Structure 1
């Protein structure tokens, strides 16, 4: 999810069988298959696609496996099924964008719209990407706050894991944090976690342990960022919608579609913030704070259905 914010056009499927059907009906630059998809898993779907390509003499499409596991056995199974790439969940936007670029031959088009850093290190956040993905600095700050609270003891946890040579578990913790840091546009922290993951992948535990103070510093910088944003006076106070206020149904539809694709709302939610009922707005914000845009779309879809029922003439 969230790939749409990188200007990729997405077509989504509910299960592996539907993914194969969509592939047969269309033309795609790449296919991402979750190996745990229902009805037909990712490996089975990949084999079905490869068989279809051979039968119809179609050029093989690059296929990337998505999995929560990082074992060599998982990679072997993906290769044997005919998959070309491998990505670990939770999705790391920078990593999977690079994988897509490698397989399709396209440029990653990394835009260097970053905050200035006199030290030469990565900035705390990528301000341009944050505005593009989140739209609202306050919404972004809430998500950062939640991330910091959930991972405040990460350095100590990793130290314990490394002391007990639980490298695989440490690698999973770091990869999960790195993916979330990337989605939160926390460039400084992402850089630290990427280096830490590289050390763990190379079984260099001493180097990994030496990087833990940098992780603590990166978490502190993220905390200081959201504290500073939270301390700023709001530019506007959200007022309750009046009885006569009408929701912009076109914008509501655009926002719902965007969230269904797994994208963050950008400025669309801010546009509707004064029109949505408080309980609906709060449910959407809570879903986004938990990185669940599809859940936010479900809330808005239910609200739109309610509006349609209220507008329908009595039978």
Structure 2
């Protein structure tokens, strides 16, 4: 194991893209680029490694060999994944000559290369612009609280749920339950994502000093949301940013580009909407104490204790805004005289 030279570009080619398949685009948390890349590999008889939910709704890495399996590893999952034997399984498949696509955080891609000890011609790696890995303990505490409130076990968590639009989706999460009903948590009611995006209380401490930011990238291709793209390329259904970081990445992209709407962009456009491309999140000193308190405290109470809970003022502003919206709707329908 050690440092592996990958010859990735010092300045990637940048594209704004989305799949032409409307259903795939809706089910994806951005523009569906990952699905198109993965489908190409699977259609060649290859395998794709990505993150899926297990029976406890925690995230684990796995290898899939079918389009049905691809459904499990699509979409963003905002917590650290359990690697299990994924590096060993990938290496074994590579040694057999199988084409492999591996998708993970930049540090996970770096870990794969270190485990392999070399790059392989039949390996395509994909990373993403990462804000930081959340603790599975925090996620499980939030989900358990929600399950208790709903009186049922959750079977699926859909982060960045797009009903209501792509641009607002980071603050919207849908949770499906085993009895068939689902709930949508949005804005400040979505405490898990609210805490993640504002307080950083349960981001892994090492993510506060990430050593794999910027360029050259770890993956042959980098995936991200193209936040801040102009309105002509944003219909609020999801626009992916693709960074092509190597010749292998370029070859794969060329094979799928006819399945997508593609617009080449400038390297400088990365930074306005994706500051975490080159900057680490600031992780508070209270992270360890917060996670320890989850052993005997609810997620909500812990969030309140450490200042990650929405303020009373902001919650009242939200209530007032909802009331105004209802009044305006009634007035427009002629129900208020």
Bin for the TM-score computed over the shorter chain: under 0.3
Greater share of residues in helix: 1
Structure (1 or 2) with the greater strand fraction: 2
* TM-score between both structures, scaled by the size of structure 1: 0.24
Determine which structure has greater relative contact order: mean sequence separation of CA pairs < 8 Å that are 6+ residues apart, divided by chain length. 2
TM-score by length of 2: 0.23
